[in-house]
Amino acid sequence: MALAETVLRKVHKLGLIPKIIRLLPVISLVLAISSVSWLASLPLQGNYRNVYISENALMPSQVTSYFRESEWNIVRGYRTEIRKFDFDRIEENNVILGNWLTDIGLEPMYHKNKFGEDTLYTILHAPRGDDTESMVLTVPWFTSKHEANIGGISLGISLARYFNRMSIWSKNIIFVFPQDGHASLRSWVEAYHTTLDETAGSIEAALVMEYASESDHFKHYSISYEGLNGQLPNLDLINTVNDIGYHENLHCSIQKSVHQNDYSSRLKTLVKGIIQLTLAGLSKRNTAGCEAFSGWQIQAITITAHGDEGNADITQFGRIVDSTLRSVNNLLEKFHQSFFFYLLLSSKHFVSIGTYLPSAIMMAVAFAISSLGCFLNGAREMNEYISKITKILLIFTIIEVGCLITSIILPMVVKYTESSIQMILGLSTIIALIISMIPILPFNLKKLDKTTSYGLIGVSLFFISMLITTLLIVHFSLAMSIGLIALPLTFIQPLINNTSQSIMKNKLKIVVSLIISNPLFIIYLTGLWYMEDGSVIELMRGLLTSWDELQCWTWFVIILGWLPTWIGVAFAASFGNFVLVPQEKKDQ
């Protein structure tokens, strides 16, 4: 006790508490910078790990695949016929494919989804199984880039013919031919677990195969592993495919980057992976197909062939699928040994959750400290905040309820009138810009008292801190992305209290901070910069329809988490009665 009293007297004598309170915005910024620095340090030597197979029963590359030159002519024959197909008439093509499956000895079955499309599928019952477990090989008619999957369809039928002659299977194999890997495949997966009569047991793993080229050769293959809502397949499945590809002397790319063992390459793959996970399921061109299996404890990845020329041939691509399914066939239990939370730096390196999680924690703490700084630096007594807490919470609740109503109405409007997306995006962007510009308008719109204004900013920042904390394990990429983009909101209160610069300069900085942290502005920039063909409309459509089509809740996180925070801060900054006294006037 004596030591504690001595320390407290020293702290009081030196005036440390007021100094620390004044430095809270700086501490918040330092934590945010540390968060980004931690993330940037992950690709450094010693911070990541080499991939490895945890489940010994998988035994990848331990058997010889006979899908070789003897099957090449079969693939070519199917491909020649598929070239004649009209890919705008999927139902007619499914009938032809169904006849081929019947000739092989498999029964074709159809599922009509809620979009009125037929999805063809068939089940190869395991000679050594009891119909309780299965694997899925999915071959969509169109790839994620909306190219005709000619090579993939021909290879899928050839593999069905090849697998049907083998007696090694202890798990059923389901072949699925959806129109695309987006809503059509998701509808089939949902129906499989709910309404389909013909099923084949619990699905352990799924492979989605994309081979758009009509050539016999390709340059390299890539693996897409991003699931919906932050879900990832067990790392053992990815490592199994990589190990098989390595023994086939094939190059593998992750996030469109062929492995180069240097820092910049690993950092680039890390950043792309975070962005891709954040945007997973929001666009048909950004959905590789494996996302459709999320939510059912199914380990799913997409394997895509790239290039028309190269040393690799189409039978090698088929052997990757063959050997992977044979490895999964060896399992006596579900995938559980390896990681479910990780970030890939390359096909050979990864970062586990315990290593990357501190960056999101520091970001959440940065917002919490900034929130505390709003209350303590607002030049108000704490009892005044307590007396105004009902009003502050009422304003924020009204904002949240308004966002909730918007989150329900807008998807319904788009569902019935899809042409309204452009109008919704344009109108929302204009409203957001007007709100952001209010602080520099020459009109006197100051309706909120100081206590309510500072309190509303503090509550809003604390809310986004809790949002990041809630998401940081379940959906690290989305939590980190929101934290980074919304970071300028923490600058608002220090700018309001800043008396070393002119009032107009501070107001301009506040306006800039509001604009660059606005969700709609970021959606617009993301559509222009990251989406193919700069399709902002496609990204907005994906956000508004992703829950109905894929059960992806990114839209609700943005509209019920990020947007209310932004509105709360913008409302306080625009209508708060702050008195800014420049330093030179104060000195006089």
User: pLDDT band at residue 582, thresholds of 50, 70 and 90?
Assistant: very low
Cβ contact 347:252 at 8 Å = yes
Could you state, in order of their start, the residue ranges of all structural domains in the chain?
20-44+354-587, 56-347
Output the pLDDT for position 588. Answer: 42
For residue 312, what is the DSSP state? E
| Stretch 160-174: mean pLDDT | 94
For residue 281, what is the DSSP state? T
Nearest-angstrom CA–CA distance, 314 and 214: 10
Which tens digit of pLDDT belongs to each residue from 17-30?
A: 777 888 889 999 99
Which tens digit of pLDDT belongs to each residue from 382-423?
A: 777 788 889 999 999 999 999 999 999 998 888 766 677 888
Is pLDDT above 60 for 32? yes
Nearest-angstrom CA–CA distance, 253 and 163: 27
Q: What is the mean pLDDT of the chain?
A: 89
Is pLDDT above 60 for 584? no
Output the pLDDT for position 504. Answer: 84
CATH topology of domain 56-347: Aminopeptidase (3.40.630)
Is pLDDT above 80 for 138? yes
Nearest-angstrom CA–CA distance, 109 and 103: 14
Structure tokens at 112: 């009509």
> What residue type is assigned to position 461 of the chain?
L
10 or 463: whose pLDDT is higher?
A: 463
User: pLDDT band at residue 534, thresholds of 50, 70 and 90?
Assistant: low
Is pLDDT above 70 for 578? no
Burial state string for 180-195 with b = 16 or more CB within 10 A and e = fewer than 16: bbbbbbbbbbbbbeee
Nearest-angstrom CA–CA distance, 534 and 532: 5
CB burial of residue 391 (10 Å; 0-12, 13-18, 19+): middle
> What residue type is assigned to position 119 of the chain?
T
